[in-house]
Structures are given as structure tokens and as C-alpha cells.
Amino acid sequence: MTSRPQTLSPTAGRPDLPLVRCREATRTFGTGTAEIVAVSAVTVEIAPGDRIALIGSSGSGKSTLLHLLAGLESPTSGTVEWPALPEGADHQRPSAVPGIAVVFQGPSLIPTLDVVENLLVPMQLAGLPTAEALARADDALAVLDLTDLAERLPDELSGGQAQRVAVARALAARPQLILADEPTGQLDTTTGERVIDALVRAADHTEAGLLITTHDPRVASRMRTLWAMHDGELHAVQALATGASA
């Protein structure tokens, strides 16, 4: 991608505020002897424009941390705030904080809606006028080269296409933060790379922050910052040598 993306983020004038701030956030499941600590006292921040890879083995707590950052779940202790997102404090679960788009690992398209209709759903729920929502959907499909698939149903898409449509849905909502949970986990290498390209392109388009959970080092190498989790604890945060763009 060579053109400079439009600056669409509402925090463009206030780059100092983090998109999300997590302080000593802990998330446990179950009680007593059956208690499982999925995330343990994590303190992190994500700023606009960040490109973060969150790596760890299966069961390390990556997805749970992502859910906490998205506002999909509440921490058992500690705090998660969204200083740069005005609606973060009052948002109602189980939906994500407005301004944050989540891309899931598994199929996340509504099977009875076609591609365009799937893209429209979050914008309609946010109250966007239909004409503007359609325009954004068209833009998102164009950015990700998915225009030809506009009227297809999810069952008519390959796994990679479906994931790219999920990314397009995230892009159409013009989020300030994109959180992708193992977006290439069920895809082959080539398709996975195309999905990562789509994610990065989407984030660049809106100058949004991007966090991808993965256990694939090749995916991680595309990001600029690396977080590593193990047994629910964040062990390392480091800048990577290269953070590739699409």
C-alpha cells in the first residue's frame, strides 16, 4: 500500500491519550480449588498507531487479555480503561467498546447475511445512516479487494475470504483499535499472510492501533512490538526490529 491513509481517528488531535490502559488487571474463572487464573496482574497500554503482537502458547491467556482490552469481559480485579475512547466508561457488555473492532479466530460472520449485510451490522447498531454505512462498506471492500464477493453468503466463501470479510467489517466501522484474536489460526500460510496484510492495511487506513494474538512467529514478525504471555502473566514487552506494513 503506497498512498497515505486518511486521518480519520477522533483522537488524532490528542495523541497523548492511550486507547486502552490496563492496570494490574486480573481475570479468574471458577472459585475455590477450581479457580483458574487466566490473566494475572497485567499492566499495559495501547496507543494509536501501535502494532503489537501478543504471543504465547495455547492456554496462556492471550484471548482473555484481548477480551479484557476490548471490553468484552470485565477484570476480576484491577482496572481496564479507555481514555481516548469517550464511550469506554459507559459501554455495556457483552459488546466491545465503541471504537474497538474485534476479529475472531473462528467464523464470525452471520451465516444468513451476505457480505455487505455483515459489514453493515455494526454500523447500523451504532446508528449510522444507511447511505453512509453502505458507502463505508463499499470502501472497506475495495480496500481489501473484496468487492466481487459483496453478495456472497458466508458459506460460499473460503476460510481466508471469510476472515478478510471479518477484517473488512472491522475496517468499515472506522475503529481506533483493532484487536485480532488468532486471525490466521485456521488458515494456511499464504492465506494467513493475506489476512495479516488486510489487517495491517485496515489499521493503516484509519491510523488505528492493532493488536494481534498469535503463536506464529512469522505473524509476530510483521508487528513492531511484541508482548509475550505465559500462564496468564505478561513476561516480556519488546520492540521488534522491523514492523512491516502492507
Partner 1 sequence: MNPGTAALWVTGLIRHRSPRLLGAAAGIALAVSLVAFLGAFLTTSEATMTQRARSAVSVDWQVQVETGGNVEAIRDQLAHTSGNAAVTGVSLGQTTGLSSTAAASGSTQTTGPGVVLGLGPDYRSTFPDQIRQLAGSPDGVQVAQQTASNLKIVPGDHVTIGLAGATSVMVTVAGVVDLPQANSLFQRVGAPPQSQPTAPPDNVLLLPQAQFSQAFSNQLAQVSTQFHIRRNAPLPTDPASAYTLDAAAARNVEATSAGTALVGDNLGAALGAARADAAYARMLFLFLGLPGVILAALLTAAVIAAGAERRRSEQALLRTRGLSRRALVMLALAETGLLATLGSIIGIAVAAVLARWVLGPAAGANTSTLVAWSVIAALVGVVVAVTTTLLPLRRDLRMGGVLETRRANATGPVDRPPWWLRYGLDLLLLAAAAGVFWASSGNNYTLVLAPEGVPSISVSYWAFLGPALLWLGAAGLLTRLMLLGLRHARPVLERLLRPLAGRLAPAGAASMTRRRPALARAVVLLALALSFAASTATFNATYAQQAEADALLTNGADVTVTFPTGAQPAAGLAQKLGAVPGVTAVEGVQHRYAYVGADLQDLYGVNPASITTVTALQDAYFTGGTAAQVLDRLRVQPDSIIVSAETVKDYQLTLGDTLRLRLPTPGGGPATTVPFRYAGIVNEFPTAPKDSFFVANAAYIAKATGDGSVNTFLVNTGSTGQPAVAARARSLVGADATITDITATRGKVGSSLTSVSLGGLTRIELGYAIVLSVAAGALVLGLGIAERRRSSAILAVLGARRRQLSGLIAGEGALLLVGGILGGTLIGGILSVMLVKVLTGVFDPPPSTMAIPAAYLLSTVAAVAAALAGVALLGGRSSAQRPAVEELREL
Does 1 engage in binding with partner 1 (CB under 8 A)? no
Does 6 engage in binding with partner 1 (CB under 8 A)? no
* Interactions with partner 1, residue window 188-227 (CB under 8 A): none
Does 94 engage in binding with partner 1 (CB under 8 A)? yes
| Residue keyed to cell 447511505 | 131
In the complex with partner 1, which residue's Cβ is closer, 13 or 127? 127
Please check whether residue 9 is in contact with residue 85, taking contact to mean a CB–CB distance below 8 angstroms.
Answer: no
- What is the DSSP secondary-structure string of 50-115? -EEEEE--TTSSHHHHHHHHHTSS--SEEEEE-TT-TTTTT--TTSPPTTEEEE-SS--S-TTS-H
Candidates 37, 113, 134, 240: give the one binding partner 1 (CB under 8 A).
113
Candidates 22, 42, 73, 144: give the one binding partner 1 (CB under 8 A).
73
Tell me how far apart the alpha carbons of residues 192 and 184 are, in angstroms, rounded to a whole number. 5
Does 104 engage in binding with partner 1 (CB under 8 A)? yes
Would you give the binding string for partner 1 spanning residues 142-171, x where CB under 8 A is met?
-----------x-xx---------------
| Residue keyed to cell 526490529 | 241
Strand order in the sheet with 233-239: 100-103, 177-181, 209-214, 51-55, 225-230, 233-239
Q: How many helices (H) and strands (E) does the chain have?
A: 6, 9
* Interactions with partner 1, residue window 40-69 (CB under 8 A): 63, 67
In the complex with partner 1, which residue's Cβ is closer, 11 or 64? 64
**C-alpha angle 99-7-222 in degrees, rounded to nearest 5:** 75
Candidates 28, 95, 191, 245: give the one binding partner 1 (CB under 8 A).
95
Candidates 122, 175, 209, 243: give the one binding partner 1 (CB under 8 A).
122
**Stretch of 2-10, 95-103, 135-143, 206-214 lying at the interface with partner 1 (CB under 8 A):** 95-103
Tell me how far apart the alpha carbons of residues 99 and 173 are, in angstroms, rounded to a whole number. 8
Does 109 engage in binding with partner 1 (CB under 8 A)? yes
Does 186 engage in binding with partner 1 (CB under 8 A)? no
Does 182 engage in binding with partner 1 (CB under 8 A)? no
Tell me how far apart the alpha carbons of residues 93 and 113 are, in angstroms, rounded to a whole number. 24
Residue ranges that bind partner 1, judged by CB under 8 A: 63, 67, 72-73, 92-96, 98, 102, 104, 106-114, 117, 120-122, 124-127, 130, 153, 155-156
